[in-house]
Structure 1
Amino acid sequence: MPLLIIAFGVLLLLIFIMRFKLNTFVSLIIVSFIVALLLGMPLSKVVDSIESGLGGTLGHIALIFGMGAMLGRLIADAGGANRIATTLIGRFGEKRIQWAVLFATFIVGIALFLEVTIVLLIPIIFSIAKEMKVSIVHLGLPMVAAALATHAFLPPHPGPTAVAAEYGANIGLVLVYGIIVVIPTVIMSGILYPKLAKRIVPSAWTREGGESFGAGRTFKEEEMPGFGISVFTALFPVILMAVGAAVDILQAELHFKDSLLIDTIRFIGNSSTAMVISLLTAIYTMGIRRKVPVQRLMDSCGAAINALGMLLLIIGGGGALKQVLIDGGVGDYVASVFAGTSMSPVFFAWMVAAILRVCLGSGTVATLTTAGLVIPSLDAMPDVNLELVALATGAGSAIASHVNDAGFWMVKESLSMTLKEAFGTYTVLSTVVAISGLVFTVILDLII
């Protein structure tokens, strides 16, 4: 019965969102109430469960998520993202242009959310494709592969940040392990798969496209910050969190004691502290240092937060549904079903996230719902690597992007593809990201 109730809840969520066009957050809250009642939760506990799930989820990630949004907006508005993309594309040369796009998107994508990365880079990609007389899809697929992979695997993106917090995983380690997994994953999906896709749907490579999609702001050479400072600002939170994670790893291996220096490094490398320091750094490097008025910088930060509001609510709604599943006993039921199984918790988390992603469309909602089903199973596995379970969940949440995913339509329209071409390129590419991410996560699990 619990599994049937979950299936009914997922179906209801799809009907609310796709058939009745209800807002995703509203749909999640309504479904959370219905699922809680069907699971037999006492009426006095339903509201508390939903509120604790919503508040608990946002309490873990709001600071990181908010600071990350403002950091990305400052870099974008200053022209730093444009500088990174154009410089790398110029240095890699025409023959390795796909690698240049992949690398540029990877750097920019760490700081910017998936949709922002696509909107920001598409005009640049289109201009280069037009100048080189190649299809926009030729350069667009490496771009969306890197943008999707960073979105699915790397903090401070909402899905990996939220699910790492739910599992109690070290966000710094999730970032470090995530980068290790993402590098081969984006090569598989962004460089190798497009060669095959060109044979599967050759028509996608016959048009230039892209002009109808919103044109991004153009910057004059003197308006953009330098390449080095732009890369440093974008990667600064990664550097700080990586240092904190490295200290944790070395302390576990070498067994040295805590000290003031170690505590200080761990404090600075904490994901929340790292994001605050990185935002202050960006305010200086992307603004004050270039004599940009502070008010304009704060306008950029305000715009980032305004755009973030509904997404935060949706994440909170996913957390509410997750908590209902836990408090309603679904997680315990799933744990009992798989009790004694030899299935790896990494694969189990990936499988659940993949199924929910196909059904729900939203990768972020899929990751949070997965946490509610997987967490009780982890209690019986004391030696499980929580960081790798978080990465596997992120990998599963990337699979088979299709018509119920807003990102699918964004990619389709931005690359001017037909529905068939979008299925043959982006839907399969997102599946390659998911499967490759799982494979490299499992390999990492065998090594560490």
Structure 2
Amino acid sequence: MPLLIVVIGILALLLLIMGLKLNTFISLIIVSFGVALLLGMPMEEIVKSIEAGLGGTLGHLALIFGLGAMLGRLIADSGGAQRIAMTLVNKFGEKNIQWAVVAASFIIGIALFFEVGLVLLIPIVFAISKELKVSILYLGIPMAAALSVTHGFLPPHPGPTVIAGEYGANIGEVLLYGFIIAIPSVILAGPLFTKLARKIVPDSFVKTGNIASLGEQKVFKLEDTPGFGISVFTAILPVILMSIATIITLLQETMGIEDTSLLAIIRFIGDASVAMLLSLLVAVYTMGLARNIPMKTVMASCTTAITQIGMMLLIIGGGGAFKQVLINGGVGDYVADLFKEASLSPILLAWMIAAILRISLGSATVAALTTAGLVIPILGQSDVNLALVVLATGAGSLIASHVNDAGFWMFKEYFGLSMRETFATWTLLETIISVAGLAFTMLLSLLV
């Protein structure tokens, strides 16, 4: 019965969002109330559960997400992202242009959220395509693969960050293991998959695309942008800080090193929130003040970044509310009992639930959060590495993007593809990332 109520809730969510075109956040809150009532939760507990879910989720995420959005916007508005892309293109050369696009998109994807990275990189891809006379899709698939992989696996992106918080996983470990999984996944879904896509839908590789809807793009003269080294350093500084703290902590645990004040300071600096704040302050200088850009202009970029993520934060909060209703309403415990005797790995189970919800709901973040509500009670029965469950959930939440996902339509319109061509490129690309992510996570689980 609890699972039937969850299915009814998901169908209601689809009806509200796709049928009635209701805002996703409002739809999530309505469904949260409805599911809570159907689960028989006491009325006085329903509002408390929804508020706790929304507040608890955003309490962990808002700081990292907000600071990350500002950091990415400063790198984009200063021309740092353009400098990274064009320098790598020049260094790799025409013969290895796909790998240049992968490297540039991966570095930029760490700092910029998926939609922002897509809007920023597509005009650059179009310009390179025109200059080198190669297909835009030949460059577009590796670009989209790199952006999608960073979005699904690497903090400070919302999915892995919020799920790490929900599962109680070490965010540094998620980042470290995320890199190990992300690199082979992006190679498979990017340059290698492009060869297969060319055979499946050859006509799509002669399309010219259309980016008129992006409006006039700010293009910098390369000499007016920050240097390549400082741009890359600024973009990946949060990753460096979090990774150092995680590696040192793992070494300390493995070698039994006694705790000291220095190690405590390193852990403090490597905390996701502190790392993001320090990185933002560095970016204010390197991308702004060091280049004689007034503080007022720099802060205007930060304000724009926050304005753009306001609704996304609410949607994530709404997903957290739905997740909490599932836990407090007993659905999570019901699922835990269901799989108590089964030998199914929590990693595989998390991926399967996230994949089903992703196909149903469209939103990767909402799918991942709803998965948390069903999987958290199971984690108490297992000694599985929580960082790997985070990555499996992230992988499942990327699978089979189709007509209920905004990314599907963005890719289709920008590259001028038909529905069939979009399914054969974008949807298949996302599925490869998802399945590869699961496979590499399962392999990693044998070692850690």
TM-score, normalised to structure 1, is 0.99
Deviation of residue 217 (structure 1)? Answer: 1.1
Unaligned 5+ residue runs, structure 1?
A: none
Deviations 1:200-252 (CA, angstroms, capped at 9, x unpaired): 11111112223434242100123210000000000000000001111121011
Q: Structure 1 residue 321 and structure 2 residue 327: aligned?
A: no
- Specify the code of the residue in structure 2 equivalent to 1:6: V
Q: Structure 1 residue 436 and structure 2 residue 405: aligned?
A: no
Q: Which residue of 1 aligns with 2:134?
A: 134
- Specify the code of the residue in structure 2 equivalent to 1:192: L
Structure 1 segment 56-95 matched on structure 2, within 5 A: 56-95=56-95
Unaligned 5+ residue runs, structure 2?
A: none
- Specify the code of the residue in structure 2 equivalent to 1:203: D
Cα distance in structure 1, aligned partners of 2:347 and 2:211:
42
Cα distance in structure 1, aligned partners of 2:246 and 2:237:
14
Percentage of identical aligned residues: 62
Q: Which residue of 2 aligns with 1:186?
A: 186
Structure 1 segment 148-163 matched on structure 2, within 5 A: 148-163=148-163
TM-score, normalised to structure 2, is 0.99
Deviation of residue 132 (structure 1)? Answer: 1.5
Q: Which residue of 1 aligns with 2:357?
A: 356
Residues 367, 397 of structure 2: 8 Å contact kept: yes
Cα distance in structure 1, aligned partners of 2:49 and 2:327:
9
Q: Structure 1 residue 12 and structure 2 residue 17: aligned?
A: no
Q: Which residue of 2 aligns with 1:207?
A: 207
Q: Which residue of 2 aligns with 1:106?
A: 106
Structure 1 segment 389-400 matched on structure 2, within 5 A: 389-400=389-400
Q: Which residue of 2 aligns with 1:177?
A: 177
- Specify the code of the residue in structure 2 equivalent to 1:369: T
Deviation of residue 337 (structure 1)? Answer: 0.4
Q: Any idea what SS the aligned residue of 2:212 has?
A: coil
Q: Any idea what SS the aligned residue of 2:401 has?
A: coil
Q: Structure 1 residue 425 and structure 2 residue 425: aligned?
A: yes
Q: Which residue of 2 aligns with 1:233?
A: 234
Deviation of residue 412 (structure 1)? Answer: 1.0
Q: Which residue of 1 aligns with 2:376?
A: 375
Deviations 1:369-425 (CA, angstroms, capped at 9, x unpaired): 0000000001111x2100000000000000000000011111111111111110000
- Specify the code of the residue in structure 2 equivalent to 1:191: P
Cα distance in structure 1, aligned partners of 2:178 and 2:185:
10
Cα distance in structure 1, aligned partners of 2:198 and 2:133:
16
- Specify the code of the residue in structure 2 equivalent to 1:347: L
Structure 1 segment 24-63 matched on structure 2, within 5 A: 24-63=24-63
Q: Structure 1 residue 335 and structure 2 residue 336: aligned?
A: yes
Deviation of residue 76 (structure 1)? Answer: 0.3
Q: Which residue of 2 aligns with 1:290?
A: 291
- Specify the code of the residue in structure 1 equivalent to 2:391: L
Residues 80, 226 of structure 2: 8 Å contact kept: yes
Q: Any idea what SS the aligned residue of 1:204 has?
A: helix
Q: How many residues align?
A: 447
- Specify the code of the residue in structure 1 equivalent to 2:248: V
Q: Which residue of 1 aligns with 2:367?
A: 366
Deviation of residue 190 (structure 1)? Answer: 0.5
Cα distance in structure 1, aligned partners of 2:343 and 2:27:
36
Q: Any idea what SS the aligned residue of 1:257 has?
A: coil
RMSD between aligned alpha carbons?
0.8
Cα distance in structure 1, aligned partners of 2:124 and 2:311:
28
Deviations 1:127-172 (CA, angstroms, capped at 9, x unpaired): 1111111211110000000001100010000010000000000011
Q: Any idea what SS the aligned residue of 1:256 has?
A: coil
Deviations 1:70-96 (CA, angstroms, capped at 9, x unpaired): 000000000000000011011111111
